[in-house]
Amino acid sequence: MKSTPLLAAYRALAIATGCALLIFCGFIIAKYGFDTGAQATMYVAMLHGYLYLAYFVVTFMLGQKLKWPMGRMLFTLAAGCIPFASFVAERRLMRDMAEAAAPAAAEQPVGA
């Protein structure tokens, strides 16, 4: 599969969702560990929630397009809620896409 707008959206949302989740975890530690930043925590939580909704929809559409098995689909969908997992899922998908494209590129004639 060539790079598509859906794949680009997935990559951007996976990174944004992962970063927002890590920031949210930091704010949760500040809120409950140091009793500070309660108002800011709410806004960071909302940001992560909106990003995760977009990530969920785009990931589901990409999984349907690529015909992922149910286990991979569930792991990738859940990756937006597990710290660092969205980064792992994104790298795994890009590695798999590169491996799938390599044999197709090797079969093409040089002059084509």
> In whole numbers, what is the pLDDT of the chain averaged over residues?
89
Average pLDDT over residues 68-85: 92
Is the pLDDT at 109 greater than 70, yes or no? no
Residue 98's pLDDT band (boundaries 50, 70, 90)? Answer: confident
- C-alpha distances (whole Å) from 82 to each of 44, 48, 78, 104 are 16, 12, 7, 34
Model pTM above 0.85: no
By the 8 A CB rule, do 27 and 46 touch?
Answer: no
Average pLDDT over residues 73-78: 93
CA 24 to CA 14: how far, in whole Å? 15
The backbone region for 4, taken as left when phi is positive above 0, alpha when psi lies in -120 to 50, beta otherwise, is beta
